[in-house]
Amino acid sequence: MPTFDLQLSTLRCAYRDGRLTPRKLVAELLGKANTLNPEFNLFIHLLTDSEVAPYLDWLEKQDFERLPLYGVPFAIKDNIDLAGVPTTAACPDFAYTPAESATLVSRLVSLGAIPIGKTNLDQFATGLNGTRSPYGKCRNSVHPDYPSGGSSAGSSLAVALGVASFALGTDTAGSGRVPAGLNNLIGLKPTRGILSTAGVVPACRTLDCVTYFTATAGEASELLSLTAQTDARDAYSRKNPQWNSASAFGKPTSFRFGVPARLEFSGCDESPELFARARAHLEAAGGEAVEIDFEPFVEAANLLYQGPWVAERYSVVGELMSAAPDAVLPVIRDVLAKAPGATAVELFRAQYRLQALKAACDAVLDSLDFVLTPTYPRPVTLAELDEDPIVPNSLLGYYTNFMNLLDYAAVATPTGFMKNGLPWGVTVFGRAFTDQYLLGVADLLQTASGIECVGGSHPEPCARRVAVSDRIRVAVCGAHMQGLPLNKDLVSRGAQRMQVTHTAAHYRLAALPASTDGTRRPGLWRVAESGSEISVEVWEMPCVELGSFMATVPSPLVLGKVELSDGSWVTGFLCEPYGVLSGTDISAFGGWRAWLASERRPD
């Protein structure tokens, strides 16, 4: 095996320097996978030499510099189609051989990535532990007494055991996060619909997401930015907004994060301290922790395995269960047994309750940048699952089952190890379309924790740019400040005041002539010398509201970048030069409020 790790940046360097070729790497990885498979059962189907040859032949004709994933090996959960290779969903009697790959798989191959095999899973992606498969139980990559986690069991192991740079999983109830937490990986569960699910065997089609397992948050960010595209093949596909593009990945600053007021650890004596450490890392980075009522999230999670959504799972498996009951594992039959009795009345009642819970949960998130939880209350052992395959499995989903029901994005992040060596981690989640921001938080946590990632390296901090969320911060210096006439234009758009501060000492302020409606406004401009600190307020508003807000702002005012006294830069109001010439310089007052007071103006 190569002596280096399989991270994207490492492979690029090795290929560029000529120290490695894709053909040599894939041959070594397939050999290693064949050696590991009897112990870990991570693959249902490893590609043969003849099956992988067309990918390598095509790649060798391509320009390395034009393919961002040139020669990157990846694994595919076996409920996701790879053309010409059987898709089983861990059920031999269900298997079929697709003529066309899933949209996401095709996209990755076109970018230069090389599929190496189809990975094991909890049958029909129903389970969170990785033991519910006729192809064998998947044990943990580190500790033999624990499961890999599921349902994307083999996908997590492929990355954790060093036979793939990244892997595709799916996530309906936590299948892309629980295995990540148990195997020292980043598990990105993206916003529903921004990664195509065309060519994926559904668990619950209205909820399913394709996920990425990677060693680092930076790799997950890059993969998401390359593949988050709308897809005509997928009726549930959604457009990824620009604020959630690659440029949004960065370092979070001055953020507020929620922490459940009552944390569930199910009697574990190590998890509370590990969680406290992760929280402390965020606080040390400038975050403000806010305790939240977590009960609405828990109640939403409990809806997932009630009749309506179990019936959605049954819509995929039911015909096979009726025709050949023994084709489906007993534990899966038990989970789906109540589905045939579900009624439309129950469905609508459950949807009404879910909508009420979503309103409550959204209100909690509205004043936060994200929420921090453990990925699971505590790990469960293989022995526990042998004794009771239901309750320990359900425990693993305590912090994950609500996520897709409520339409949130989430990232599972490794932050430590338990005393027995088992990986441990947290999950950060937030509003839909904040994936790249959350990956920035994950990067911060992974780096601050100081633990080795898969491959033996320590993750490098992400770029120095500031992380971007679905909210934008705007510095105002005049009539939009709190209590002044135009503040309503911010408040009505859901804006909240985040900070009262000053600009850097490089600005001047002018009182502009009154507008046609009689409102007085200031004009702020940057100068090379003889500048002053000017009082400003920093407000945060949803990005989707910025356009309508700007439509209310008259010339000569414009939006630009304003430097604050702490050296940071935010979007803010500036004044065009011709406007400055028509105004009166009031910089000596240090701000608009002070000038208004001196003028004894009621506005």
The model's pLDDT over 319-363, given as tens digits with 9 standing for 90+, comes to 999 999 999 999 999 999 889 989 999 999 999 999 999 999 999
DSSP code of residue 584: E
| pLDDT value for 325 | 93
Mean of per-residue pLDDT scores for the chain: 95
Catalytic, 175? Answer yes
User: Would you state the structure tokens that stand for residue 388, as one six-digit string?
Assistant: 């009771």
Output the DSSP codes for 36-88: HHHHH--EEEEPPHHHHHHHHHHHTTS-GGG-TTTT-EEEEETTB-BTTB-B-
Q: Could you tell me the pTM of the whole model?
A: 0.93
Residue range 418-463, pLDDT digits in tens: 999 999 999 999 999 999 999 999 999 999 999 999 988 877 766 5
Of 116, 186, 117, 175, the C-alpha closest to 148 is: 175
DSSP E strands: which ranges in 98-235?
A: 114-119, 166-171, 186-189, 209-214
Question: Are the C-beta atoms of 243 and 250 separated by less than 8 Å?
Answer: no
188-217 confidence digits (pLDDT tens):
999 999 999 999 999 999 999 999 999 999
pLDDT band at 14 (very low <50, low <70, confident <90, very high): very high
Which of 141, 151, 156, 196 is flagged as catalytic? Answer: 151
358 is catalytic: no
Q: Could you say which of 175, 196, 271, 532 is catalytic? A: 175
First to last CA, the chain: 73
Please identify, in words, the CATH class of the domain defined by 8-290+370-449.
Answer: alpha beta
More confident residue, 256 or 517: 256
Token digits of residue 574: 């500036």
Averaged pLDDT, 228-252: 96
Quote the CA–CA distance of 121 and 138 in Å, as a whole number. Answer: 8
Give the length of the chain: 603
Residues 6+ apart with CB under 8 A from 422: 140, 142, 143, 146, 182, 379
pLDDT digits (tens, 9 = 90+) for 563-572: 999 998 999 9
Distant-in-sequence, close-in-space partners of 514: CB < 8 Å, separation ≥ 6: 520
Share of the chain above pLDDT 70, in %: 98
Q: Which residues pair with 507 in a beta bridge?
A: 526, 532
What architecture (CATH level 2) is domain 471-599? Roll (3.10)
> Which residues are paired to 584 by β-bridges?
511
Percent of the chain with pLDDT over 90: 91
| Set 77, 118, 189, 251: catalytic member | 77
**Domain limits, the chain:** 8-290+370-449, 471-599
| Predicted confidence (pLDDT) at residue 464 exceeds the cutoff of 80 | no
Average pLDDT over residues 157-163: 97
Q: Are 154 and 424 contacting, i.e. CB atoms less than 8 angstroms apart?
A: no
- Could you tell me the pLDDT band of residue 530, with boundaries at 50, 70 and 90? very high
pLDDT at 274 over 60: yes
Contact 132, 332 (CB under 8 A): yes
